[in-house]
Amino acid sequence: MENLTTQMAGVPLNHYIYLSAIIFTIGVIGVLTRRNAIVIFMSVELMLNAVNLLLTAFSVHSNDPSGQVFVFFIMALAAAEVAVGLAIIVMVYRNTKSIDINVLNRLKW
Amino acid sequence: MEQLLLLIFLPLVGAVIAAFAGKSAKIVSTVFSVASLGLTLFIACNFIPDASTQFEVNLPWIANLGINFHAGIDGISMLVVLLTNLLIPIIILSSYKHDYKNPAAFYALILFMQAGLLLVFTALDAFLFYIGWEAALIPIYFICAFWGGKDRVRINMKFFVYTIAGSLFMLMGIIYLYLQNPAHNFEISAFYALNLDVAQQGWIFWAFFIAFAIKMPVFPFHTWQPDTYTAAPAQGTMLLSGIMLKMGIYGVIRWLLPIVPAGVQDWSCVAIGLSIIGIVYASLIAFTQKDAKRLVAYSSIGHVGLISAGIFALNQQGMQGAMVQMLSHGINVVGLFFVLDIIFSRVKTNKIEELGGIAKVAPQLAIAFLIIVLGTVALPGTNGFIGEFLLLMGVYNVGIWAAAIAGLTIIFGAVYMLRMYQNVMLGKTNELTITFSDIQGSEKFVLYLICALIIVLGVYPKPLLHLTEASVQHLLEQVNQKLTSVK
Amino acid sequence: MTIEQLIWLVPLLPFLGFVINGLGRKSLSKGLVGIIGSGVILASFIISVVIFFSLQGDTQKAHEVFLFDWISAGALHIPLSFLVDPLSSIMLLIITGIGFLIHLYSTSYMHDDEGFGKFFSYLNLFVFFMLLLVLGSNYIVMFIGWEGVGLCSYLLIGFWYTNSAYASAAKKAFVMNRIGDLGFLLGVFLIFNFFGSLEFSKIFPQAANMLPGNNTLVLITILLFIGACGKSAQLPLFTWLPDAMAGPTPVSALIHAATMVTAGIYMIARSSVLFDLAPLTQHIIAIVGAATALVAAIIALTQTDIKKVLAYSTVSQLGYMFLGLGVGAYTGSFFHVLTHAFFKALLFLGAGSVIHAMHHEQDMRHMGGLRSKLKTTFATMMIGTIAIAGLPPFSGFFSKDEILAHAFQASPVLWGIGVLTAFLTAFYMFRMMFLTFSGKYRGTHHAESHIHESPAAMTLPLVILAVLAAIGGAINFPHIFGGNEWLAHWLTGAGVAQHELDLSHSTELALMGTSVAAAVIALLYAYTKYVKGAHVPVADEAPRSALAKLSYNKFYLDEIYDFIITRPLDILSKFFYRIIDNKFIDGIVNGLGWGTNEASKGLRLLQSGNVGFYLFMMVFGIIALLIYTFSYIL
């Protein structure tokens, strides 16, 4: 653990920020451009993980473990979300034989 | 303090009982309203006419937010409380000839409204004031919506949205004042003590003024009023015109002038200008109205315009005139609407041209109506004169032209009121009015009572003037003191 | 009993009469109503006489009697209090004295009317308010009476209210009075601001120390004069008075000739201290008065309704009085008020007697030759006519000549108009007399058989008034004839300003001669035309010369007012209601509601149901927020 921390501290904070920003952006673009619900879902996870990475990095950087506590929260939340989300997607697929989100436009004015 | 709590909660208890009283709600509500009147008279007799707040109640309510159940009565409150509790029994009595469906709800709503009004007129806590302000609106909404006339849904909606919109401005103002208040409470005395700069005062002025102007109503915020008065049931119209519009006037006196005097001073010319335009404008419109109820509605706008001009003139005469005129206008306008209600219930129309010659078949109604009309046109010796004379004198101090234009109400009022009287009561009896029966029973009692009040208050207004004098003086001193400290 | 102890009874008694007759109008018998109605006035009159004489023997000429505090607000204190001084004491006598005679007359004249009780209660109420008007010790108590008599005038003009023309005439009178009242009220405000009080006893001593020509005083007096214009029927507000003849004839005699319409003159005489300091106002008053006198006299020349002739004659005589006030002849004007009250009340009551005999026929074209049948009426009316024409030694001569002499001193033009008016007055009055009483009877044969002299209750007042009209001039018998001008001395005690004539005796006599000559010429001309020539005015629709048409149609003043005031206001009213109120203001209000609806209709289209779009908007929104938040970096 000690070893890992020093190793991580060896990488400057900037790099974490750049990396998570890139991952986050990939997630955002994925969400915006893809129509497949599963892919969108994955992109959302990507964004969550980008944030997690950032939280961890800052936690180490500022020597405050509470950031990592948040990460655990988020991971638990993400797991629950995946469970519910996937269940919905499965139900959608059963009803419409499709997981294209553009088919799901009934909920409007 | 027990008396004041009793005063506010008595109608509320009455409302609950009346709601379950079924057919006898009429009696229950009469008993409770007369009891309130009795209690009010008792309080008035024990009231010492100086500037102090008496019968004060101060109970913690929502302590975390600094909200207290703080109420009390000074001379100004005393007068409007008297007005409310005097008119409510009259209004309830005036409904005796009516057979409203679901009377329990009807009378319960009236009493509920009374409680709301009393809360408004005695509250010394802005939060409480606001609660009362809105609580008084709800019953009248239902009264108009359920027992109203033609097109009531649309008109009622407009009325409700209009007034609610105004109230929200006021709420904003109250919250702002609350946030500015270092003690973080809604105490009126704390609001008085606030030291706001002129710009802040200007904003608060408008936030409050719009709410009050809509309620009164002052030109050009008045367009809900003629429609609502026409469509509401007679008792609803009486409640609206006789008492409810006084909430706006009272609000200006209690919550606007002393809190933001610099704002008032900055904008008083606009307020007076609007009021005076309203007088001439509404009176002129009343000239050619075909529906008597609508005519009276417009005349009411004119009269209220004069009251508000007198208040914003910020002097003793104008303010005292406003106090007297509040009471007088309440009595007169309730009388007018009651007469029109009597006519409507007999011949099913209030169209001026279709009526005529009623004096021949109903001389007693003709006499009572004439006295009420004379009170409305401010003939010396009637209550209307005292108020209008003092108001015009107050407005005169703003400028002779202001008084001259505002004084047109004396001429115009005579024109449209006498025109209405002539077309409705005089002339030849037609086939519609030939079967008209004269007033009797409760109608006679109510109308004669109103006439007696008109004359007695006109001949001997001293008790009224004396009641409010010290409080008004104190209020003006407060305003002037604050004005000098701002500069 | 002192004046202070008695005075409040004077207005109280008529008020009691009003209450009793008003409440008992159904239950009391006509006889009882008449006795109560007239009795209270008689009692008031007796008390007034007592007061008058005790005032005469008193060294203190002004007594203020405080009743109770009426209005007080801030610096303003208005007590209900009375002022008994020489001016008001004379008015008391006139009001209650002539009032009693007219009440007595009415017991017979109105006997067959179903509203007998109502009539007497109104009449009593009128006397009450009139007494309040003259007794008030400040402008506001005066104003109570001022508006109160207006109310009674309204009620009595519209006494036969089932006739909607009468009801309209009543309304017109009230509204036109109200126009003046606004002026009065504004004047009162100005007085309060300027003098800090509304009590006569506080204002006039202050004003006495001021210099003439003060602008505020000019404005005050002009405003008060506007009030007087309304009440006393001066140009341009006089058109209500002729219409007021719709009321029963005793009402015309009491209210629209003897008392109420002279309230304006009383008020100005009362405030003569103020008016004396405002020369501009005096010029205006003199010009308005002269113009009114002339215009009304011209209109009276061609009227055919006997009451209309008298009505215009009243307007014209009131104009005379204002002319007098304008040239500073306060006593002269007040003198004329008194004499006019005698002879005009007499003439109206006489006309009432004629109308009564003719069964409510008022058109002189259907009269004629009544002299033999109505002997008392004719004799008394003749005295009244001679008095109004200004022939010596009857009362009208003295009062009119006092005004004319002062007018001559102020401006010969005004004097010229006055003499011309006197000429016209004599002409139309004799025209009226001749048309009514001489020649052949021109009515229906059926009506002729019923013509009879009126009962004693009606002729007795005529006789008393005729005596007064004949000898009334004695109260201000001029120096030039060896008199002592008692009235002028008496009124000095009330602070009424006096201006001595600065004319030589020969000039004064010449002036008198001229006006008497004018009256005599008019008399002769009327005699040749209507008695010798037996001329009868043509029917309504017959062609007339341009001037006669103008006169006959009252200079089209009613039509002009209708065109320039009533109709534009009506149009404005409809414009305000339909366009401004319903379309514009309500349009904005409803527009706000409509706008909200429409906006929400548009906005809900954003709710497309397309998840991709929602996501895009979300991201876009977040980016926008970020940019906004960190905009200070950029």
Are C577 and B285 a contacting pair at CB < 8 A? yes
Report the number of secondary-structure helices (H) and strands (E) in chain A: 4, 0
Residue predicted with more confidence, B28 or C28: B28
Helix (H, G, I), strand (E, B) or coil at C589: helix
Bridge partners (DSSP) listed for residue A36: A100
Separation of alpha carbons C314 and C257, rounded Å: 6
Number of domains in chain A: 1
In a domain, A77, yes or no: yes
In a domain, A37, yes or no: yes
Terminal alpha carbon distance of chain C = 100
Number of domains in chain B: 1
CA dihedral sign of residues B426, B431, B437, B439: negative
Contact list, B393 vs chain C (CB under 8 Å): 76, 189, 192
Residue B412 has a pLDDT of: 92
Is the model's pLDDT at B487 over the cut of 60? no
Residue A2 has a pLDDT of: 61
Is the model's pLDDT at B379 over the cut of 60? yes
Residue C634 has a pLDDT of: 66
Residue B220 has a pLDDT of: 87
pLDDT in tens, B130-166: 999 999 999 999 999 888 888 888 889 889 988 999 9
- How many B/C residue pairs have CB atoms within 8 Å? 139
* Chain C: residue whose CA lies nearest to A33: C612
In a domain, A44, yes or no: yes
| pLDDT < 70 stretches in chain C | 1, 634
pLDDT in tens, B53-95: 888 888 888 888 888 899 999 889 999 999 999 999 999 999 8
Separation of alpha carbons C467 and C429, rounded Å: 19
Is the model's pLDDT at B26 over the cut of 60? yes
Residue A96 has a pLDDT of: 85
In a domain, B287, yes or no: yes
* Chain C: residue whose CA lies nearest to B476: C74
In a domain, A5, yes or no: no
Contact list, B422 vs chain C (CB under 8 Å): 158, 164, 167-168, 171
* Residue B351 backbone phi and psi in degrees, to 5: -75, 125
* Chain C: residue whose CA lies nearest to B422: C167
Contact list, C143 vs chain B (CB under 8 Å): 380
Q: How confident is the model at residue B350 (pLDDT cuts 50, 70, 90)?
A: confident
Q: Which of C199, C198, C329, C335 is nearest to C262 (CA)?
A: C335
Q: Which of C74, C85, C96, C180 is nearest to C136 (CA)?
A: C85
The number of CA neighbours under 13 Å toward the Cβ of B338 is 34
C527's enclosing H/E stretch is: none
Separation of alpha carbons C319 and C292, rounded Å: 5
Q: Tell me which residue range forms the domain holding B468.
A: 273-487
Task: Report helix angle B75-94 to B25-46, nearest 10.
Answer: 160
Residue C1 has a pLDDT of: 63
* Chain C: residue whose CA lies nearest to A101: C611
In a domain, A21, yes or no: yes
Instruction: Give me the percent of chain B exceeding a pLDDT of 90.
Output: 53
Long-range contacts of C385-388 (CB under 8 A, 24+ apart): C385/C347, C385/C429, C385/C430, C385/C432, C385/C433, C387/C339, C387/C342, C387/C343, C387/C469, C387/C470, C387/C472, C388/C313, C388/C317, C388/C340, C388/C343, C388/C344, C388/C347, C388/C425, C388/C429
For residues B231-244, b (16+ Cβ closer than 10 Å) or e, as one string?
Answer: bbbbbbbbbbbbbb
Residues of C numbered 58-77 whose beta carbons fall under 8 angstroms of chain B's beta carbons: which are they? 68-76
- Show Cβ contacts of residue C14 under 8 Å, excluding neighbours closer than 6 positions: C40, C41, C44, C124, C125, C127, C128, C131
pLDDT in tens, B197-240: 888 889 999 999 999 999 988 888 888 999 899 889 999 999 99
Separation of alpha carbons A34 and B480, rounded Å: 70
Contact list, C71 vs chain B (CB under 8 Å): 386, 389-390, 461-462, 465
Helix (H, G, I), strand (E, B) or coil at B24: helix
Helix (H, G, I), strand (E, B) or coil at B21: coil
In a domain, B395, yes or no: yes
Is C114 near chain B, with CB under 8 Å?
A: no
Residue C557 has a pLDDT of: 83
* Chain C: residue whose CA lies nearest to B415: C175
Q: Tell me which residue range forms the domain holding A38.
A: 10-98
pLDDT in tens, A66-88: 888 999 999 999 999 999 999 99
Contact list, C179 vs chain B (CB under 8 Å): 411
Separation of alpha carbons C323 and C403, rounded Å: 8
Separation of alpha carbons B6 and C497, rounded Å: 64
Residue B336 has a pLDDT of: 93
Separation of alpha carbons C300 and C293, rounded Å: 11
Q: Which of C158, C152, C147, C123 is nearest to C25 (CA)?
A: C123
pLDDT in tens, B92-114: 999 888 888 888 999 999 999 99
Alpha-carbon gap: C625 to the closest alpha carbon of chain A (Å): 16
Is C593 near chain B, with CB under 8 Å?
A: yes
- How much is the pTM? 0.88
Are A31 and C607 a contacting pair at CB < 8 A? no
Mean pLDDT, chain B, whole residue set = 90
- Cα–Cα–Cα angle for C168, C170, C173, nearest 5°? 110
Alpha-carbon gap: C54 to the closest alpha carbon of chain B (Å): 30
Residue C276 has a pLDDT of: 86
CATH number of the CATH domain containing A25: 1.10.287.3510
Are A32 and C605 a contacting pair at CB < 8 A? no
Residue C27 has a pLDDT of: 84
Contact, B484 vs B265, CB < 8 A?
A: no
Task: Report helix angle C306-326 to C412-437, nearest 10.
Answer: 160
In a domain, A107, yes or no: no
Separation of alpha carbons C512 and C520, rounded Å: 12
| pLDDT < 50 stretches in chain A | none
Residues of B numbered 64-103 whose beta carbons fall under 8 angstroms of chain C's beta carbons: which are they? none
In a domain, B143, yes or no: no
